[in-house]
Amino acid sequence: MAPAKVLVVDDDPAVRNLIQRFLIKQSYQVEAAEDGKTAIALFEQFNPDLVILDVNLPDVIGFNLCQEMQSRNGVFVLMLTSRTDEADKIRGFAKGADDYLTKPFGLGELEVRVAAILRRQRVVTTAEQKRRLS
């Protein structure tokens, strides 16, 4: 089976690079974006199994990006953010997030959360398949 594909979206280059390097070591295929516009372009090309998504992006609110990606193909989304408020967590789940991890975070916890999400069964359709189905 091919390794799972993960898209990391975070405007902080240190966080983005740390997660990307860590997940590559765990044998995932990884792409990364620093803003919403790049994230959507990569999302379309890469067709990830999971998106690790920051809420605070320079050009878009991560909650809205989560909803947009979910509406396209039902991809798994792990919100990764410094927003620790219960209201923010509820908003994240309401917009379609599968999990919510707050910064600072440990790589060990990130690893097990990613693995747990990817064990779930969900049919991820590409935008092309979705057009044919509708």
Domains observed in the chain: 5-133 (3.40.50.2300)
Mean pLDDT over 57-78 rounds to 94
Q: Is the pLDDT score of 134 beyond 50? A: no
The pLDDT score that the predictor gives to residue 1 is: 75
Q: How far does CA 68 lie from the centroid of its chain? A: 12
Mean pLDDT of 39-43: 97
Q: What angle do CA 104, 92, 65 make, to 5 degrees?
A: 100
- The structure's pTM equals 0.89
Query: What confidence score (pLDDT) does residue 97 get?
Result: 96
Contact 48, 23 (CB under 8 A): no
Average pLDDT, the chain: 91
Least confident of 3-7, 88-92, 124-128: 124-128
